[in-house]
Structures are given as structure tokens and as C-alpha cells.
Structure 1
Amino acid sequence: MSSQATETETEQANDELPLDLSVLIPVYNEVQNVEPLHQELQQVLGSLSLRYELIFVDDGSSDGSRAKLGLIQDRDPEHVRVVFLRRNCGQTAALSAALDLARGNILIPMDGDLQNDPADIPRLLEKLDEGFDVVSGWRKSRQDAFISRKIPSWVANRLVARLSGVPLHDFGCTMKAYRRRVLEGVRLYGEMHRFIPVFATWQGARVTELEVHHRARTAGRTKYGLGRTFNVVLDLILIIFYQRYAQRPIHLFGRIGLWSLALSFLTFAGMLYFKYLHAPLTGDKAKSFIETPLPLLVVFFFMMGVQSILMGVLAEMVMRTYYESQSKTTYLIGEIRQSPPGNST
């Protein structure tokens, strides 16, 4: 029994050893694509002198992808790990699951539909070796429908680059290369996997871009549509809030509240003017309070101002609880230089 326990402990220790590379592949109804994708990855990564793993995350597929991935893992247990989610949770959630399980020092997510080219992986790694922390793929020659895919993507990318200050051309390209330290502690929600380079830049990471091949889909159906563009815009609003006001939400809600209170007092002054001063000055009939919508506007702006300020106070309490409960700091240290103890004079 002790021998078996020792072997088990050894296997667990080996599982904890870091690998050089983890390729993260969310899959949803791609039964025709996962097999050739695995073969291409084997050919490309097998030629590199790297210890690697392929993490396929089946996002609640209903077309046989689950069974196909199980067969792939049986044939290549050394490199393939498969995660089966209980239901369809979305690409970001599937990618987050892969990130939590990855053991590689370098992480490369990619789509499971064969539109990303595994042959680009060595080029991404070479770019990382130039001293970058994130290499973002750019599908410059994108093989997708022009109206339903290219135009919304172009608009969304320009908007994200402008508002975030990160000058990338293609935030939506799943194929990127990250150093593990950049993603430590990252939690993804909504459609925010596309904004990881933005988060990394805010953390002081060196981010660059590399043109990658993009292939036309040959099997299966696309899961993206025009509606996803609106989700991107909403998520962008959220990350801009994180960037500017996550540590001081009262500054945002407080300003909204103060402006609302100011409008309330101005509207109240206008209400008094039409009641008492308008007639003597113009000769017209005085207007009763109920003849104009001003009293309603006074109440509306006043209540909005009070609620906004109270919301800012609550947000401050939540923010402080978030940082203090997890011992998080509001600063990021890059390097400390000091003399060794005992060398001071």
C-alpha cells in the first residue's frame, strides 16, 4: 500500500510541474473540426522542443464534439486534457476554465473552428522572446462575411482602441500569446476575453501585435452575429469604468449626483420665475406651478441626485471591502532597489 501511495504522490507531483506551453481551445459544436485541429497542433508543436499541453474545453456541445474529444484524449493522453462543462456557458467562461487549469508558462488561446492557423504559434513565441508579455493576433486578411462580420468588427475594434488607449487592430482575434504572470488573478466575465490585452496594458505589461493567418470556415456553423457587437460595447463601458473609477467610484456617481442637484435648483428657480417674475416683466399672465412640468423636473432631478450620491457611497464601501478582504493593494510595484541589511552607514 505504501508503494502505491508513493507512486500516486509522485504522479501528483509531476502534474504540478510547470510546462512550457498551454494551448487553450474552447469548443462548441465543432465535431468536424476538432480532429483535424488536433492533428495540425501535433505537427506544429511536435517540431518544437517544448513541453506542452492542449486543453480542450467542451462548452456544452450537442453535436458529438464531446465524444470526439474523448477519443482524441484517449489517443494522446500525454498532451491532451479535456474539460466538459455541464452546460453552454459561453466562450469567455470556457476560456476562463482553461486558464484555471493551464500549467504552461506561456498560454495561447485559439478557436476550435480551424480558422486560426496553428502554424502561427512558433511566430507568436518568437515575438514573445523579443521581450513582450502579450502578443495579440491580427487577422489582417480576415476570411469572413463582409457585412455581418467584418464591418461590425472594424467598428468595435476602432472604438475599443480609441477608448482604451491600446492601439491594436483586432481585439476579437482569439489567437494570442501571454506570459503566465500577465493572467494570474484575472477573472473573466461576459465577453471580456477580448479585452485581456487592455487589462494587461493597465498592469504594465508590454503588448504588441502580429499578423496571423485567418482561414475560411470549411465545416460547422459560426456562433457569432451582429448582436455580439452590442455586447462588446457594453463590456467596453464596464472596463472603462474599471480603469477610471474602480478605486474611486464616488467621483463618478458623486459628479452625476451634484449635477442633478444643480439642475434641480435651476429648475426650481425657473419655476419661481414663471410664477412671480414672468408676469411683471413681460405683462403676460402669471403661470401657476401646475401649468408647467417644472415641479416634476425639480423632484426628478433632486431624487436622482440624492440616489446617485448614495450609490457612490455604497460603491465606495464595496470597493474598500473588495480590496481589504483580499489584501489587494491599490498600487503595482515594478521593482524595488535597496541596500542589503547591515550595509547602511
Structure 2
Amino acid sequence: MDISIVIPLLNEAESLPELCQWIERVVNANHFKYEIILIDDGSTDNSWEIIEQLAANNPNIKGIKFQRNYGKSAALNEGFKAAKGNVIITMDADLQDSPDEIPALNQMIMEEGFDLVSGWKKKRYDNKLTKNIPSKIFNAAARWSSGIPLHDFNCGLKAYRKKVVKSIEVYGEMHRYIPVIAKWAGFRKITEKVVAHQPRKYGVSKFGWERFINGFLDLATISFVSRFGKKPMHFFGLWGTLFFCIGLVSSIYLIIAKIIETDFSLTNRPIFYIALTSMIIGMQLFLAGFIGELIARNASERNVYLIEEKIHL
């Protein structure tokens, strides 16, 4: 199969028929063997009934229905598991992502050799105050922390080589950081493509201000887990040792000063409390690293590594 198109959705019954017809026109015109995987993330409207009707008329349309709302990351993760195409393309179901971009995205994966191509909605039709400005701040922080020069991490329109989606796990609200997850999994051929952004035709946006706060928290999480998930002591041990040494040096200074000056008062000096606090923080960080190592060594995936190729094995 050439292409799997994975579409998570929540209460998008009005847009689904038009979206699927649009996708069918594009893939048939380019003679792609395809499948459309629609993941209903706990919709409360008749989205699932629409999916059943579409699937009955086209065997290339497949559906997954969650019992309740789990979030976009969970929907994408299940879609990635089910996808069989050589190229997996994700898009939103609200018609703001254009299926006309599919051939070019497929070409960048199959012919130009990229592992992941992320859409860049250079011209947006969203509200500037509530979406555009916070999105620019968020993307700047993501670029700085990840080292991946993408302008639009949040864009739902992305294309992946099959091996990428089969090698990563998306959970929580980490869908924003799939390029970061892919990079830390060893897929470094990541680029972006300017894509068309359509005005919303039906319904309302399902995201609010809280997604940007959660986004920064998730960025910190994925950065830490990617770098230190299998070696937590390298982080906690380093900072624990540093704080403990600061406290130890300060304590030695106080002891020497007390020996030299008998009327030297320890508890009346700020450095005494700095030394005490630093040593306590240092020990706590070191213990956190030690506990983290014990958990990591007993985790079921402690020795799971992505192997690209083997010879005679």
C-alpha cells in the first residue's frame, strides 16, 4: 500500500463526507493505493455514524472508535499502529488541512528521502491573539530546546516514513512533539513544507489557551525523558553532587572560621543556612537519581533499542 492517511477527530460529522471525497479525488488522480483511517476520539455528535456510512461505500475507509475522549495523541498512536502504507500522512478533520498537499508530501518522503515532513502554515486564518501569537512563542521555544528548525510543530498535516511511526510511541499530549520524539529515536532527516491553511468551514476549534501551558510542560517532559529516560542518575546525580559540594565547601569554611575565631557565630550568618539547604537538596537529588535508576533497570523496556539493520542474524 502506498499511503495511509490517519485522521483523528472529535465532533466533526459535518466535515467528514467532504473531507473524504476531497482525499479520494486527490489519491485517485495520482493512482495511489491508499487507506483512510478515521479515529473517533469519543465524539458526542453523529461522527461515528458518518464514518460507518463512508466505510460502507468505500472499503479503503477504516474507522476506530474510542469509548471516551482520550486526546489527539492517543488517537494518532492507535492510527499509527493500524497504518499499513509506506507513507503515513496525518491531517486534521476540520478541512483546514488541504488534501491537495498529499502528492508533494509523498514525494518528499519516497523520492527525496526524508523521514518526516512537517507542514508549515505560513499564512494562517486563525485568531491572531488567541492562536497565532501564542503559537509563535511556543514554536520558538520548541525550536530552541529541540534543535529542530521547524516553524510549526503544531501543524496536524505531516508525512512520515512507515518505519518512523512504527518506532515511536505517542502518549499524553505529545502529538505536538512527534518530530522531537522521532529525532531522539534516531530519525534525523526532518524537514518542513509550506502548506495551505483553509478557513474553518464547520464547527469550532477544540483547543483553548490551556493547550499552550500544557505544551510547555510536555516540552520539558519530552526533553528530559528523551535524554535521561534510561540514565536518570546522569541528571539527578550531577546536580545533586553540585549542590552537595557547595554545601560541603561552605560548611568547611564555617568550621575553619569557628576554629580560628572562637566567638564566631554560625547560626547568625546566611552562609550557614545556604550550606545546610544545599547539602539537603544535594542528597535529595542524589536519592531521586538512585531511585530513578532502580525504576529504569526494572522497567520492561530497559533494553529495548531501535536497530536499523542486521547482517547474518
Please give the TM-score of this superposition, normalised by the length of structure 1.
Answer: 0.81
From 36, 40, 55, the counterpart of 2:18: 36
Q: What stretches of structure 1 of length at least 5 have no aligned partner?
A: 1-18, 281-285, 341-345
Name the residue aligned to 2:191.
208
What's the secondary structure of 2:36's corresponding residue? strand
Instruction: Describe the SS at the equivalent of 2:62.
Output: strand
Q: Which amino acid aligns with 1:206?
A: K
Corresponding residue to 1:259 among 228, 234, 242: 242
- Residue 328 of structure 1 aligns with an amino acid whose one-letter code is V
Query: Which 10-residue stretch deviates more, 232-241 or 210-219?
Result: 232-241
Structure 1 counterpart of 2:285, which letter?
S
Which residue of the other structure, out of 273, 277, 280, is the alignment partner of 1:303?
280
Q: Which residue in the other structure is 1:314 paired with? A: 291
Q: Tell me if the contact between 1:24 and 1:54 (Cα under 8 Å) persists in the aligned partners.
A: yes
Contact 2:247 2:278 in 1 (8 A): yes
Look up the SS of the partner of 1:168 in the other structure.
coil
| Structure 1, 201-210 or 266-275: larger mean CA deviation | 266-275
Deviations 1:49-87 (A, max 9, x none): 2211100000001122122222222222x1111111010
Would you say 1:107 and 2:88 are equivalent positions? Answer: yes
Change (3 A) 1:278 1:84: farther
Mapped contact 1:61–1:88 kept (Cα < 8 A) = yes
Query: Which string of whole-angstrom CA distances, capped at 9 and with x for unpartnered residues, describes residues 297-328 of structure 1?
Result: 555433322221122122223333447x5642
Cα distance change of structure 1 residues 49 and 288 upon mapping to structure 2, 3 Å threshold? closer
Is 1:118 the counterpart of 2:99 in the alignment? Answer: yes
- CA drift of 1:296 comes to 5.7
- Asked if structure 2 preserves the Cα contact closer than 8 Å seen for 1:182 and 1:205, the reply is no
Corresponding residue number in structure 2 for 1:14: none
Which residue number in structure 2 is paired with residue 162 of structure 1?
Answer: 144
Counterpart mapping for 1:1-345 below 5 A: 19-76=1-58, 78-128=59-109, 129-202=111-184, 203-266=186-249, 268=251, 287=265, 289=267, 298-322=275-299, 327-329=303-305
Change (3 A) 1:71 1:204: closer
User: Which whole-Å CA distance do the structure 1 matches of 2:4 and 2:215 have between them?
Assistant: 26
- Cα offset, 1:183, TM superposition: 1.8
Q: 1:262 to 1:74 in 2, by over 3 A?
A: same
**C-alpha spacing 1:71/1:335, structure 2 compared with 1 (3 Å):** closer
Distance in 1 between residues matched to 2:242 and 2:217, nearest whole Å: 24
Deviations 1:72-108 (A, max 9, x none): 22222x1111111010000111111111111111100
Distance in 2 of aligned mates of 1:300 and 1:162: 32
Distance 1:87 1:72 in 2: 22
CA distance in 2, matches of 1:336, 1:35: 45
Deviations 1:119-161 (A, max 9, x none): 1111111222212121111101111110110111111111111
Q: Distance in 2 between matches of 1:293 and 1:64?
A: 66
2-structure distance, mates of 1:277, 1:35: 85
The answer for unaligned runs of 5 or more in structure 2 is none
Distance in 2 (CA, whole Å) between partners of 1:190 and 1:260 is 32
Give the CA deviation at 1:295: 6.0
Q: For the aligned residues, what is the CA RMSD?
A: 2.5
What secondary structure, in the 3-state scheme, does the structure 2 residue paired with 1:61 have?
A: coil
| Contact 2:106/2:159 (8 A) holds in 1 | yes
- Percent identity over the alignment? 35
* Mapped partners of 2:187, 2:159: distance in 1: 16
Q: Is the 8 A contact 1:274 1:287 kept in 2?
A: no
* Counterpart residue identity of residue 243, structure 2: S
Stretch moving more, 195-204 or 163-172: 195-204
- The answer to whether the 8 Å contact 1:30/1:113 transfers is yes
- Give the deviation of 1:218 after TM superposition: 1.7
How many residue pairs get aligned? The number is 310
Q: Which has the larger radius of gyration?
A: 1
Alpha-carbon distance in 2 for matches of 1:245, 1:60: 34
